[in-house]
Structure 1
Amino acid sequence: MTPPAVAAFFDVDGTLTTGTTLFRFLEYRLAADGFPPSAYRGARQRLKAMTAVGVPRAVTNRAYFENYANLTEARVAAVAEDWFRAELRQGGFFNPAAVAAFRSHAAAGDLTVLVSGSFPACLAPMARYLGADLVLCSQPEIRDGRYTGAVHAPMIGVEKASAVRRLVAERAVSAAHSWAYGDHDSDLPLLELVGFPVVVGDEDRVLADRAARLGWRRLPGAAVPPPALPSYEPAEG
């Protein structure tokens, strides 16, 4: 009898990475397009203010993508490639413990899946670098090759779980034999879907309490935040 297919689902920001890809890339992209540092600080503060008053993460995720309105898909993708190379040169971008777990699943032949509120431009170079099999993420609206600033169904909270349920059904994956990794209480719907949930880091009290009560596995988070990125440097050639 063929054993059930096994998958390993990884949240990205704060789980595989030590920082938030959406914000690190936005800062880099604004610099690449000639904006002063105050432009990023303003955009970041607006989103922080929304979070501070209790705006749901799915709503702030939508607000984030307004920063890309009218940009071409090709331009954003090219800058994202430069950004990721800059992150690798700088170091400190990945959480070593989570990456080691990812590579262990890959070596075992498990289906490796990134599940993120981030978007394809940011995640494509990372998925290639890690060798991820699939990416489930937010999909900003693009019309005639340009971002509109809108996003449909941000991949946050229950949307992560819904996307994973669809994949499990389509790929005949056994959720009971599969793994999921997350660092924030918004990852709970995903973690609760699988037989082997893993909490990364100890900053989220909801997840820490759930892990202690249910005996979920734990992985250390990043010891230090990633360093600030250098100025924008386009790829040579």
Structure 2
Amino acid sequence: MSDADRSYMVFSDVDETLITVKSMFDFLHYQLVRRHGTAGEEEYERIIAVIRRRAADAVPRADINRFYYTHYAGESVAEITGLAQEWFAERASSTRGFYIDSTRRALRDHRAAGASLVLVSGSFPPLLEPLAREVGADAILCTRPLIVDGRYTGEVGTPVIGEGKRSAVLDQLASRPDVDPRDCYAYGDHISDLPMLELVGRPVVVGDDDELRECLARRSRTLRTR
């Protein structure tokens, strides 16, 4: 079997890898302002200030991810999904540039070559499902808020951040014994994507995270000397 005939998978981070915005925060701002106007803007700034303080205090990204979703406690899943569809339609049609074109082209080429595309993100389904349909992704590995009686509880399962991405991708690879991880690609932009990128033979860094590039270069040198 030639390289071109092998089945392979492509795992792509989303925020600042496939799209130019941080979807969770862009949507939070969108829906708060859409529903509450100036009061929504003020609430958004309050939430972001807390998140920035926690990040500065080195609070783990997974814990910040959990904190984000507490703000959806009691919200109707149907209403949030409707707002997310409007958000996506508006952003995707914007002339400002919603997609990172190089990644979108690469995913399109992989899709044309027969690869299975998987989006991997700490974001949640209402924001990722329209994007997955647009790029032709076969699966979404993401943080999933818990739902009771059609409303978010404010809690989540396992945040798909850092090691959470690694675990989710490992499970996906285990479900495809016909696929060799060495043939697979993964795209990421931040050092927190390293646990995912290390699982495949063809990691791709999007953007200019020097720490991520150096870690992958060191890994490549180590593999060559074995």
Would the TM-score normalized by the shorter structure come out above 0.5?
Answer: yes
* SS, match of residue 154 in structure 1: coil
Partner of 1:7: 9
| Correspondent of 2:200 among 194, 198, 214 | 194
| 1:170 has 2:175 as partner | yes
Distance in 1 between the 2:85 and 2:149 partners? 22
Question: TM-score, normalization: structure 2?
Answer: 0.91
Partner of 2:163: 158
1:151-207 deviation per Cα after TM superposition (whole angstroms, max 9, x unaligned):
1110001111111111111122221110000011111110000010111111x2211
Partner of 1:224: none
Partner of 2:100: 95
Partner of 2:83: 79
Distance in 2 between the 1:152 and 1:110 partners? 28
* SS, match of residue 93 in structure 2: helix
Partner of 1:66: 70
Distance in 2 between the 1:4 and 1:171 partners? 13
Which structure 2 residues correspond to residues 137-148 of structure 1 after superposition, within 5 A? 137-148=142-153
Distance in 2 between the 1:130 and 1:15 partners? 13
| Partner amino acid, structure 1, of 2:64 | T
User: Following TM superposition, by how much is the alpha carbon of 1:33 offset from its aligned partner in structure 2, in angstroms?
Assistant: 2.2
| Partner amino acid, structure 1, of 2:58 | G
| Segments ≥4 residues shifted beyond 3 Å | 1-4, 211-216
**Does structure 1 conserve the Cα–Cα contact (< 8 Å) formed by 2:84 and 2:127?**
yes
* SS, match of residue 36 in structure 2: coil
| Correspondent of 1:20 among 11, 19, 22 | 22
User: Following TM superposition, by how much is the alpha carbon of 1:215 offset from its aligned partner in structure 2, in angstroms?
Assistant: 5.8
User: Following TM superposition, by how much is the alpha carbon of 1:146 offset from its aligned partner in structure 2, in angstroms?
Assistant: 0.2
Over the matched positions of the two proteins, sequence identity in percent amounts to 45
The structure whose RCO (Cα within 8 Å, separation 6+) is larger is 1
Question: TM-score, normalization: structure 1?
Answer: 0.86
| 1:185 has 2:187 as partner | no
Normalized per residue, which structure has more helix?
2
Contiguous gaps of at least 5 residues in structure 2: 222-226
User: Following TM superposition, by how much is the alpha carbon of 1:76 offset from its aligned partner in structure 2, in angstroms?
Assistant: 0.5
Partner of 1:221: none
User: Following TM superposition, by how much is the alpha carbon of 1:210 offset from its aligned partner in structure 2, in angstroms?
Assistant: 2.5
> RMSD of the TM alignment (CA)?
1.6
Partner of 1:104: 109
| Partner amino acid, structure 1, of 2:215 | R
Distance in 2 between the 1:146 and 1:74 partners? 8
**Does structure 1 conserve the Cα–Cα contact (< 8 Å) formed by 2:125 and 2:142?**
yes
Distance in 2 between the 1:200 and 1:71 partners? 34
